[in-house]
Chain A
Amino acid sequence: GESVGLHLPTLSVQEGDNSIINCAYSNSASDYFIWYKQESGKGPQFIIDIRSNMDKRQGQRVTVLLNKTVKHLSLQIAATQPGDSAVYFCAEISTGTSYGKLTFGQGTILTVHP
């Protein structure tokens, strides 16, 4: 089901460091996962996705790792920049469900200090 939290986890890093944001999911039937970035007052922005037949996928400065055994997803951001400061959400879909409804994690606030 959905995770809704009043107090989002936070992660503070220095500019240039690598960031790792974690997400646990509960539905073992989920087979498609997406990371979104949401800046204040804006809609979520697609970052990277991964399907359940993969363990790792890389993009530009970002890597997503999927561990299906423990139902864990992580987003790694290399050489974090101040512009990366935002709330990051993982989302899961069981593509067999009707219309591909997304289930969102609670989100993590990333703050990058210059």
Chain B
Amino acid sequence: GAVVSQHPSRVICKSGTSVKIECRSLDFQATTMFWYRQFPKQSLMLMATSNEGSKATYEQGVEKDKFLINHASLTLSTLTVTSAHPEDSSFYICSARDYRGDTQYFGPGTRLTVL
């Protein structure tokens, strides 16, 4: 149980295009999902907290107009990187919090490379 999937696992795009990443909780309902960014050999940096049916809460320094988050259902959240640039290249990871507790379960991550 407690499986979280992400799609795609890897994406390469041209500068200026937008990329959508999906995060799904497969066997549980997640009222809250989180989006992280991770650079090589560094810890995870929380970008935003996504709550089903409401606007996402962004961490300081994260541009909400650049990183669009939608949490349309209890099992799906999406992150759209708009007008991507090479500096947006990173490993993006989502997590989902089971509504019954505090534990967060992580997806496998999405490697974004912007050319």
Chain A residue at minimal CB-CB distance from B6: A43
9-residue interface stretch from B14-22, B62-70, B80-88, B97-105: B97-105
Given contacts A41-B111, A102-B34, A7 and B93 within 8 Å (CB-CB):
no
A101–B57 CA distance with the chains assembled, in angstroms: 11
Write the nearest CB–CB distance from A92 to chain B, whole angstroms. 11
**Is A18 among interface residues, defined by CB-CB distance under 8 A?**
no
**Is A27 among interface residues, defined by CB-CB distance under 8 A?**
no
Partner of A46, one of B57, B105, B107: B105
A78–B67 CA distance with the chains assembled, in angstroms: 42
**Is B11 among interface residues, defined by CB-CB distance under 8 A?**
no
A2–B57 CA distance with the chains assembled, in angstroms: 17
Known pairs A41-B111, A43-B4 / 19 extra A-B pairs, C-beta < 8 Å = A2-B46, A4-B45, A5-B42, A6-B41, A34-B104, A43-B6, A46-B2, A46-B103, A46-B105, A89-B43, A89-B44, A91-B104, A99-B51, A99-B97, A100-B97, A100-B102, A101-B34, A101-B49, A107-B43
